[in-house]
Amino acid sequence: MGGSSFGTLFRVTTFGESHGKGVGCVVDGIPPRLPISKEEIQAELDRRRPGQSRITTPRKESDTCEIYSGWADGETLGTPMCIMVPNTDQKSQDYSEMSLAYRPSHADAVYDMKYGIRAVAGGGRSSARETIGRVAAGAIAKKLLHIVAGVEILAYVNRVRDVDCEVDNETFTLEDVEANDVRCPDQEAAKAMYKAIDEVRLRGDSCGGEVTCVVRNCPKGVGAPVFDKLEAELAKALMSLPATKGIEIGSGFSGSKMLGSEHNDEFYMTPDGEVRTRTNRSGGIQGGLANGETIVAKLAFKPTSTISRKQKTVSRDGEDTDLVARGRHDPCVVPRAVPMVEAMVALVLADQLLQHYAQCELLPRKGACSPDTRAASQFQHIIASTPSIRTPATV
């Protein structure tokens, strides 16, 4: 497939190199009549844009998107949406040395190994600029999920190097996340994180960290046994982001140290007849399917591989050499990774929701306390209260 497409029904294909004409995406399978504005897409792109603060790359890009197709007058047409963002602040000359020598732990060498050819200026497809297409597509997915089922997707930085934080996953808000440059809703911890990043930046070094993503109000039953389990889809989506080294769902690695009697989430009935769990070590997913609790995923990012300290490496023509990388790079990727993480989670859920809806909600469900009552409300109460959906032309 080439590897640049994601999803089955809600399907995004990204394109573009970091130092070519631009980057973007085509999204096919978007439900028609979805109200979404160019501003809503741009708002997400602005969150991942470089140059937001001292702790992100100084590359200057406005990252202004153009909706090329599939959209008119504030609504989707149901046809492919192509969204493009031109590259404007390319400084290919920065990469003259790196075109000759492989940056350690960077994709330079493996691209030559795989393709036998490479866009030598910048990272090409391995650049984080590629994620612009993901974030734009994710903005559409987010809107769909919100309108159809009230789904809320929020990510934040929960660790930078060894600086941790305390956050209540059930209650923090987007405003809490966006209140600081690090994107950590624990404002005190955010300051320490900022300092940690700035410190390695000044030394020409880089550091890693963790991003947590939560999903609230995910419709029950989303996900598909056995290979397309929700945790498997999330793992693929998130581990396809640059610089990721690990992922946990719910209790994660620490959960693997517990006993079953400690780890199991007991069920109970709510007064209005809903099945819920008292704890959430499962992280909102059981048997590969959303169980209605808050989904919690945690993602580990390695330190940025491009650093301005001298490193030993080899050249493209096979000689041992030293490299002092130039170019403009984030000293720590996690602050800008937050919108990317949300986007990938949204892409997974939009696709899985459509698949679930097609397979499991076409035939009726029955019974007084039956799932169909809730299934209906899962999908429809939000729609009912969305007056912004204009009246389409009649047939």
Residues numbered 133 to 162 that lie near its own copies (CB under 8 A) are 147-148, 159, 161-162
> Distance between CA 301 and CA 161 in Å, rounded?
10
Establish if 271 lies at the interface with its own copies (CB under 8 A). no
Answer whether 100's CB lies under 8 Å from 90's CB. no
Binding residue (CB under 8 A) for its own copies from 106, 216, 326, 328: 106
User: Which H or E run includes 72?
Assistant: strand 71-72
Binding residue (CB under 8 A) for its own copies from 57, 180, 212, 305: 305
Residue 341: phi and psi, rounded to 5, are -60, -45
Size of the site for its own copies (CB under 8 A): 178
Min dist. Cβ of residue 175 to its own copies (A): 26
b/e sequence 24-44, b meaning 16+ C-beta within 10 Å: bbbbbbbeeebebeeeebbeb
Answer whether 333's CB lies under 8 Å from 128's CB. yes
Complex with its own copies: residue 174 or 239, whichever CB lies closer: 239
In the structure encoding, which two tokens stand for residue 322, read together? 């030293």
Establish if 220 lies at the interface with its own copies (CB under 8 A). yes
List, in sequence order, every residue forming a beta bridge with 184; answer none if it has no partner: none
Binding residue (CB under 8 A) for its own copies from 91, 146, 216, 360: 360
In the structure encoding, which two tokens stand for residue 64, read together? 């202004």
Which of the residues 54 through 73 are near its own copies (CB under 8 A)? 66, 68-70, 72
Binding residue (CB under 8 A) for its own copies from 53, 54, 115, 195: 115
In the structure encoding, which two tokens stand for residue 251, read together? 């209790």
Which of the residues 188 through 217 are near its own copies (CB under 8 A)? 200, 205-210
Binding residue (CB under 8 A) for its own copies from 178, 358, 377, 381: 358
Min dist. Cβ of residue 173 to its own copies (A): 25
In the structure encoding, which two tokens stand for residue 7, read together? 């999803």
Answer whether 149's CB lies under 8 Å from 217's CB. yes
Binding residue (CB under 8 A) for its own copies from 166, 175, 366, 385: 366
Answer whether 351's CB lies under 8 Å from 10's CB. yes
Complex with its own copies: residue 175 or 367, whichever CB lies closer: 367
Which of the residues 79 through 98 are near its own copies (CB under 8 A)? 79-82, 84
Answer whether 258's CB lies under 8 Å from 251's CB. yes
Complex with its own copies: residue 175 or 298, whichever CB lies closer: 298
Min dist. Cβ of residue 160 to its own copies (A): 9
Establish if 385 lies at the interface with its own copies (CB under 8 A). no
Answer whether 263's CB lies under 8 Å from 281's CB. yes
- Pick the stretch among 39-47, 173-181, 182-190, 266-274 that binds its own copies (CB under 8 A): 266-274
